[in-house]
Structure 1
Amino acid sequence: MPSELLADRFALERVLGEGGYGVVYSARNVATGQRVAVKVLHPRHVAADDRELARRFEREAERASGLRHPNTVRVFDHGRTDDGARFIVMELLEGEDLGQRLLRAGALPESEAVAVLGCVLRALAEAHEAGLVHRDIKPDNIFLARVGLDADIVKVLDFGLAKLTHGGVSALTQTGVIVGTPAYLSPEQCYGQEVDRRSDLYALGCVAYHMLAGQPPFVAEDTIGYLLQHSQIAPRDVRLAAGPDAAISDGLARWVHRLLKKRPEARFRSAAEALEALEQATRAAAPSWAGPTPTEAAYVPAGMVAVQPPRARRRWPWLAALGGAAGAAALWAATATAPRPVAAVEGAAVSRLGALPPG
C-alpha cells in the first residue's frame, strides 16, 4: 500500500508497525504537507466484513479525536476509502515505546519511572472523564517521543480497544470476551467481566512494577498461567523483585501494590486520586512499609468459580473456569518465562457459578 494515495489526500510512505487490528503507515497530507501517521484497518478484517470490528475502529477515532491532553496521541482525522478500508490519521511520533526502552535498559530509576507514571495518569484522567477505558495499558502502548531538543515526552497510544462506559453495556465488549495483554490484565479482565477505570489502574500498576523491577509482577509460559496469578497470587514485593541496589522508596512501593490489589474497590478510585497519592508518596519521606500481604484473598467474581490449572502440561488457549490451590498456581510461577502479548482472546471461560471468597 505505501506510495498509494489514501482518500485522495494522504500519501502513504512506509509501514511503521502492524498489530492485531491494523497497519500503521507514515504519510503526508498532500494538501498541507503535514507528516502524519495513518492507521488502516487490517485488510483481512475488511475482507471478512467484520462489522463489529469496523464499528470499534470507527468509535476509536470518534472518541479519541476529542482527547486533547498532551500526553495522549492526537487524532486528526478518520474515514473510509472507496474500497471500504477504514483509517485514522494521528500525529506522527519519533522515539521509542516504553517496551523498547525496558528491553534495552531493564529497570528504570525511580525518578524516571515516577515521571512516566504521572504523565500516563494525566492522560488516563482525561480519557476516563470522557467515558473511555483503555483496556490495554502496557509498555508498548506508552510512547517516549522526541520533539526537537525535548526527549521522552510521554504519549499514551491506541485507544483502539477502548470501551465506551457511558450509556451502559456496549455490544462491542460483551461479557465473556477478554481483551488485553496477559502480563498486564486486571483480575476482572481475566474473567471477561465488565471493566471500568480501575482496570486501567491495575494495568498501570503492572507497568510501574515492570519499570522498577525490570519485569512484570507475574510471568508465565501460557495465558492460563497469567490468569491464575493475576486472580489468585499476591505479587512479590517490588522492592525485593528489583534487588538490593534499586533503592525503591517505601512510599512508591506501597503505591504500586495499592494499584495491584485483586479487588477493584481496594485500588484507587480514579486516575486523579492515584496521581495525587503518587505525588504525596514521592514528595516526602513516607512511613516504612512491611510489604504486600501474601495471603490476600483471590479475586473471583460473583457467580463464578476460580480458574483451575490444567492437569497435564500442555497449552490450553482458555479454560472454562478459573481457580486452583496455591501450590498449583505456584507451579506456574516456578515455570515462568518471558511474557508474550496477546491482542484479544475470546473466553469460553466465564460460564460457571460460584461465590466470592471472604476478605
Structure 2
Amino acid sequence: MPGKGAKTPAWWYDGAPVPLGARLLAPLYAAVARLRRGLYRRGWLRRRQVPVPVIVVGNITAGGTGKTPLTIELVQRLRAAGWKPGVASRGYGRDDAGTARWVTADLAPGLGGDEPLLIAWKTGVPVRVDRDRVAAARALLQAGCDVVVCDDGLQHYRLARDIEIEVVDAQRRYGNGRPIPAGPLREPVARARDCDFRVVNLGQAGDAGEASVAAGFGEWTMRLCIDSARPLRGRRERPLQAFAGQRVHAVAGIAHPQRFFQMLRDHGIGVVPHAFADHHRFQASDLAFGSELPVLMTEKDAVKCKAFATDWHYAVPLQAELPAAFWVALLDRLGKLARA
C-alpha cells in the first residue's frame, strides 16, 4: 500500500486501469476508516481536548498538497495577530519515530523530520513531534503556546480540534475518487464538507482571488510564489532573476517535483532536473552532478543538505499567498473561539 514518501501509483491520477489487488483492498481500507471515524463521532472512542484552540491543516488524500507552506504562513499570520502559536506534527520519516522531542532549526533532520525542521527553521516557534498529537499539544501548552497548529493530522481524531483546513491540489483534486490503494483517498470526498475551510493550491499559476462558496463551506485559492534564492553557506540572498538565461541543477525531493521545476522555468531559468522521492535522505553524493552549475533546491530539501552544502547550493523560499479575506475569516473564527 503506497505510503508517504512512496511513488504515487499511476492509476491514482492519470486514468490508468486500477490493478485487481488494489481494487480488492480498497473497500477494506474504506471500511476501517469509516468505522474508526464513526467510533469517534459517537463517542465510543474519546476525543481529548486541550484548553487552547486547535487548528488542523490537512487533506483527505495521500501525498503532498501544499500543507506545510500553508502551515508556515498560518503560523506567521497568527504571530502577527498577537497569538503565540506552536506546531504539532508526527514528524514523518524520523529515525526514532516513537520518541517525542522538540524540533529546533539546528536539529539533525533524521531526528526531527524534514517538514517539522523546515517549520522550525522558517518560523522559530515551538515545534513538537510526537506520534501522539494530544501529548504534543499538551507539551506546547506547557511551553506557553495559546494556539496549536497541526501540520497534517486531519485523520488523527483523538485530538479534538476547533478549526479544520483542508488543502487540495488544484490539478489533481481527488484523483480517480477511490480509496487507498485503488486511489488517493484516505476518507470519502464527503468528509471534506465537515471542514471549516478548503484551500485550493493553484501552484504558481492563477490568481489568489476572492473566495467562492462550494459545497456549503468556503473555498479559497492559494498561490505558491518564488522570487529569490538563499545560499546555504555565507553569501547574500539573490533574486531568482539573477539566474535567468542560465542553466542550473534543480533538486526536489517533494511530492510533485515537476511543479518546482516548472516554477523555475517560468522565471526563465534553464533547468537540469533532479527529482528524488518525497522525504529523501540526502547525502553529499546525491548532489555530485559533475559540473559547477548552481544548484537550486526546495527549502524542504535544503534543511537536509546544510551540513555538506557548498557555495553553489541555494534554497528557494516558497511563499504561500492567499486572499486577505481568508485571513480575516480565519482570525475572526479564532477570536470567537478564544472569547467563548
* TM-score, scaled to structure 1: 0.27
**Structure with greater contact order relative to length (CA < 8 Å, sep ≥ 6):** 2
TM-score, with structure 2 as normaliser: 0.28
